[in-house]
Chain A
Amino acid sequence: DAKTTQPPSMDCAEGRAANLPCNHSTISGNEYVYWYRQIHSQGPQYIIHGLKNNETNEMASLIITEDRKSSTLILPHATLRDTAVYYCIVRFPQGGSEKLVFGKGTKLTVNP
């Protein structure tokens, strides 16, 4: 699996957009980019995933560069409840034998 690099921490003001970067320069053509987050003491929560097109859902947007070597997760209007550790994972979907590899992620703090 391709490795990912994320900044260890970021801050964002409440109501502003939070842009979380992820570098995955060794990604292969059939690997997807997944984002999860973990709010303190809770289980990880799926946010979004994509292959090469930009994706948007009710939680966030995912922007993947044309060369696919990096991506950005965007929370358009961050709230205090978005304070969490955000994990970027690159993975080829393998159905039931899929094994997600979690790094240390980015700790996002949303400030009032």
Chain B
Amino acid sequence: NAGVTQTPKFQVLKTGQSMTLQCAQDMNHNSMYWYRQDPGMGLRLIYYSASEGTTDKGEVPNGYNVSRLNKREFSLRLESAAPSQTSVYFCASRGRTSGAETQYFGPGTRLLVL
């Protein structure tokens, strides 16, 4: 199993450009999440999808949209990127793998908005 995968690994955008961050999991988990992490800070939840077909706002949803494309995939879209969205973005899925039911994280996407 690849677990949680994210693309791209790195991205540089200009202010006002749009892009979509992709996330996929192969663990058959129902729930998926998007977090952002700024330097020296803990992770903050942007959006989550408790199950296929549902999405809900987290702590910092402004400036983002999400799509739960199917059970495997959960994408995060920045419609008009701003420098304040420079961050590392982590996707996670929740389920029971190797014994514990908890969240499993991808490797992250590093985004720089100029």
Contact = CB atoms under 8 A, between A and B. Distances in A.
Nearest to A32: B102
Given A42-B108, A98-B31, A99-B58, A49 B102 contact: yes
Contacts of B43: 44, 100, 102
A46 B104 contact: yes
A29 interface: no
A96 interface: yes
B100 interface: yes
Contact of B50 (A97, A104, A105): A97
B26 interface: no
Nearest to B44: A102
Contact of B102 (A34, A103, A104, A105): A34
Interface string A80-112: 000000010000010111111111110000000
A44 B45 contact: no
A93 to B, nearest CB: 8
Interface in A45-73: 45-46, 48-49, 57
Given A97-B56, A103-B42, A41 B102 contact: no
Contacts of A44: 43, 90, 92, 103, 105
Contacts of A46: 100, 102-104
Interface in B28-83: 30-31, 35, 40-45, 48-51, 56, 58-59
B52 to A, nearest CB: 10
A43 B35 CA distance: 10
A99 B102 contact: no
A100 B30 CA distance: 16
- The listed residue with most A CB atoms (<10 A of its CB), out of B43, B56, B92, B104, is B43
Interface of A: 34, 41-46, 48-49, 57, 87, 93, 95-105
19 contacts: A41-B108, A43-B92, A44-B90, A45-B105, A49-B102, A57-B99, A93-B101, A95-B50, A95-B94, A96-B30, A96-B48, A96-B49, A96-B50, A97-B48, A97-B56, A98-B31, A101-B45, A102-B35, A103-B42
